[in-house]
Structure 1
Amino acid sequence: MLNYCRRVRRGILATALLLAAPSLLFAWGNWGHQRINRAAVLALPAAMRTFFYNHVDFMVTEAVIPDSRKYVINDKAEFPRHFIDLEDYGTGPISELPKGSTEAYAKYDAAFLDKSGRLPWYVQDLLVKLTTAMKNQRKDEILFVAADLGHYLGDAHQPLHTSSNHDGQLTGQKGVHSFYESQLPELFGKNYNFKLAEPKLIADPAAEIWRIVAQSHAAADTLLAIEKKLAGETPAGQLYEMAGEKPRKNVFNSSYHTQAYSSAYHKALNNMIERQIRGAAQDAANFWYTAWVNAGKPDLTKLDTEYTTKSNEKNLKEELKLLEKGKLVDFSSFPEFPQAQ
C-alpha cells in the first residue's frame, strides 16, 4: 500500500508539472519519452534488466521530468541541454565541431552554449556520471542519471531539436514541432514496434552521439519539406480542427490538425517517427549498457531486496512476452492532444 501511494503521488506530481509547462521543445512529449525509457529497460540483458525493471515506474516517470525542470522550476541551466542549433555553429561539416565536452567547453563561452545548445556534450557528461554511479553502486544515482540520459537521447533523435528552425517558424510552418512529436505519436503510436535489439557496447560514445545528431539533423529538412508540400496541396479548411470559428487548441495552446491531415502527413513521413523513437530507445539501452560494462559489470541485483525482485517477476515475464509482438504494456500517459471519447 505504501509503494502504491508513493506511485500515485509521483504520478500526480508529474501530471501537475506537465500541465504547467509549454509544449515547445518537449521532444516526443509525455507519450514518447515514457515509452522510450520503458522499451529501453526491457531491451537490457537480464543482468541489468532485473534491477531496472524493479524501478520501471520511476524510469518512466523521470523520463519527462527534465522538461518540467525547465518550465516549472525555471532551471536556466536545463534549457540548453535539450537541443543544439547546428546552424549557429557555422556552415562547415558537423565533423569539424568539437567531439568531446571538454573541447567544446574550452572553445565556446557559456553564453553561446546556453543560446545555441549543449545536447551532444551533455549526453557525454551524463554517461560519465552514470558510469561512476554504477562503479560506486549508488542506487538512487544510477536510476536518476539513467532515466535522464534516456530523455536527452530521445531529444537527440527528435530532428527539430538539432535546428534553429525548431518550430518551423523560419519557413512559415509554426506549430510543426508539437504536431510532429506529440500529436502524431499519440494518434498512431499504438501501432509502433518497440522490440529492440540486444544493446551493444559503444566503443566511441562521442562519435555515436554525433552520429545520432547528424542523422536527426538530416531528417529535419525532410520532415519540414514534406509538411510544407502537403500543406500547400491541402485546402486551408482541412488543416486544423475548429472550435467554433477558431482552431481547436490543447492545454499548451498548440493547434489540433485534422485527423485526415494528420494521417496523410504521418503516412508521407514513411515511418520516420517510429524509426526515430525506436532508435532513441535502442540508444538509451546502448548507453546504459556501455556505462555498466565500463563500470566493471557490477551486480545490480544486490541493490534490491529479494522481495522486490520476486514481486516484479510475473509482470516482467508478461511484458517480455508482449514485447515479442513489438508491443509495450498499456499504461497511461498525460495526453497533450486528448481525443474525444
Structure 2
Amino acid sequence: MSWGGTGHYKINSAVSLSFNQEMNQFSSWVETLADHASDADIRKQWDNNEAPKHYIDIDNYSEFISNGTIPQTLSGAISAHGSTFVYDNGILPWATITAYDSLKSCFERLDWDKAVLFASDLGHYVADGHMPLHITRNYDGDYTGNDGIHSRFESTMINTYISQITYSGDYIGEISDVNQYVFDYIYNNYQYVESVIAADDYATNINSDIYSSEYKSALWNYSKNFTILLFKNASHALTELIYTAWLQAGSPVMNPTGIDNPITEPTVVLQQNFPNPFSNSTKVQFSLNQNTKIILQVKDIQGNTVVEIINDVKSEGNYSFDINTENLSSGIYYLTLDTDKEHSVKQMILVR
C-alpha cells in the first residue's frame, strides 16, 4: 500500500489544514476520513478489480517518455494501447477521477453517509498519486538494484519518522479541469522517482544493513524535504478536490442550522467494536447521555443496510451487546449509529 496505513491516515487527517470558511462544515468528517483512509487497500484482499486502481506504471507508455504525457481518458488510453496493456500498467488517475465523480454525485443527492466514504477513497488514490513508487514501473527498485525500497520508503521510514512530518495548509480554489489536475500532479510527482532511488543509494552507502538505524536515519535525512512536500501536496489536493466536488454539486449545506453552532456534549458515543477484525460475532458498545431515538445499523461498502440492530427510543445509559454476522460474507462493513442530530460510524472487518 502506498505510504502504508500510517501515511494514508496522516494525509487524510490533514485535509482540514486547508479548509476555508465554506468548508468548516466538513470538520466533522476529519476523523472518518482518517479512519477509512486505507479502506481501498483492504478491498484488495477480496476485490480483484481493486489493485490496478492504486498505481500507474506511466514510464511504460512510450509517449510519456517522448513528450511527458499520455492519453488522459481511459477510453483514449485503451484505444491507443489496448485494454490489457492499460490495466496491467494500472489505472490510478482514472480511479481517482471516478472516486471524485462518485463524491460529486453523493453531494448532488445529499447522501452524506456515502459521500464521506467516497471522499476517504478519493484521499487514498490522491495519496497514491503522490507516492513516487506508485507511478513507475520501478515500483520496488528492481530496475536500478534497489530491491525492497518500496516498503523501506513508504512504510518503515514513514512509521519511524511520522512525528516529524508536519506541515501547514494552503489556499484552495475551484478546479476548472479535474482530469488535467489529477494528471498534472502525477506528471509532476514522477520527478521524485529518481529522488527516492538516490535516497536509497545514499543510505546504503552510509550503512548497507537496511535494518540498521544508520540506514533508516540516512534515508530520512536525504528524503525528508521532498517527502514532507509530497504529504503536504496530497492533503491539499484532497481538500481542493472535495471542495470542487461540493461546489460543482451546488454547494449543498450539510447542517441546515448553520456551521457556527457552539460545541456541545454529544448525545451518543459509539465505541469501536471488539474484536476487530472478527470472524462470527463482535461486541458493540455505545452510551447515551439522554433518552433519544437511535438507529443502529450495519452497512456494506456500498452503503446498503445489511443488518438493522436497533430502531427505537432508548433510555440514557451504557449499552453493550454482541452482534452475530454469520449470514454475511467476508469484507468491510460499517457500524452506523444515528440520532436526529448526530451520525457516528465505525469500520468493521469480517474475516471468515
> Cα gap change, 1:188/1:135 in structure 2, threshold over 3 Å: closer, same or farther?
same
Instruction: Choose the corresponding residue for 2:184, options 187, 208, 211.
Output: 211
Are the equivalent residues in 2 in contact too, given 1:134–1:142 (CA < 8 A)?
A: yes
Give TM-score, length-normalised by structure 1. Answer: 0.71
Q: Which residue of 2 aligns with 1:281?
A: 235
**More off after superposition, 37-46 vs 106-115:** 106-115
Unaligned runs of 5+ in 2: 267-352
State how far apart, in whole Å, the 2-side matches of 1:101 and 1:296 are: 27
User: Is the 2:96–2:122 Cα contact (8 Å) retained in structure 1?
Assistant: yes
Question: 1:8 aligns to what?
Answer: none
Correspondences of 1:1-341 after superposition (within 5 Å): 26-50=1-25, 52-70=26-44, 72-73=45-46, 75-90=47-62, 91-95=65-69, 97-231=70-204, 233-236=205-208, 239-240=209-210, 257-302=211-256, 310-311=264-265
The one-letter code matched in structure 2 to 1:114 is Y
* 3-state SS of paired residue (1:27): coil
| Counterpart Cα distance in 2 of 1:42 and 1:148 | 19
**Conserved in 2, the CA contact under 8 Å of 1:166 and 1:177?**
yes
Query: Gaps spanning 5+ residues in structure 1: where?
Result: 1-25, 241-256, 313-341
Name the one with the larger strand percent: 2
1:300 aligns to what SS in structure 2?
coil
In structure 1, how many angstroms separate the alpha carbons of the residues matched to 2:258 and 2:74? 34
Cα offset, 1:180, TM superposition: 1.0
The separation in 1 between residues aligned to 2:243 and 2:259, in whole angstroms, is 22
CA–CA distance in structure 2, aligned partners of residues 304 and 178 of structure 1: 44
- Letter of the 1:80 partner, please give it: P
Question: Secondary structure at the residue paired with 1:298?
Answer: coil
Call closer, same or farther: CA 1:67–1:266 in 2, change over 3 Å.
same
Contact 2:97–2:178 under 8 Å retained in 1: yes
Task: Give the TM-score normalised by structure 2.
Answer: 0.69
Q: Going by fraction, where is helix more abundant, 1 or 2?
A: 1
**Alpha carbons 2:203, 2:216 under 8 Å: kept:** no
Which deviates more, 179-188 or 161-170? 179-188
Higher RCO (C-alpha under 8 Å, 6+ residues apart): 1
How much has 1:45 moved relative to structure 2?
Answer: 2.5
**Separation (CA, whole Å) in 2 of partners of 1:311 and 1:147:** 26
Q: Percent identity?
A: 25
Q: For 2:257 and 2:140, locate their aligned partners in 1 and report how far apart those are by CA, in whole Å.
A: 43
Report the CA distance shift for 1:306/1:104 in structure 2 as closer, same or farther (over 3 A). same
Aligned pair in 2 of structure 1 residues 101, 309: CA closer, same or farther (>3 Å)? farther
- After superposition, the Cα gap between the structure-2 partners of 1:136 and 1:308, relative to the gap in structure 1 and judged at 3 Å, is farther
Count of residue pairs the alignment pairs up = 264
Write the distance in 1 (CA, Å) between the matches of 2:174 and 2:28: 23
CA deviations 1:154-200 (Å, max 9, x no partner) are: 00000000111101122221111111111222222212223211322
Task: Write the deviation string for residues 222-242 of structure 1: whole angstroms up to 9, x where unpaired.
Answer: 2102322442x2343xx23xx
**Distance apart, 1:103 and its partner CA:** 3.0
SS class of match (1:77):
coil
Q: CA RMSD in A?
A: 2.4
Give the structure 1 partner of residue 287 of structure 2: none
Larger radius of gyration: 2
Q: Residue type matched to 2:135 in 1?
A: T
Question: Following the alignment from structure 1 to structure 2, what is the Cα–Cα distance between the partners of residues 158 and 45?
Answer: 26
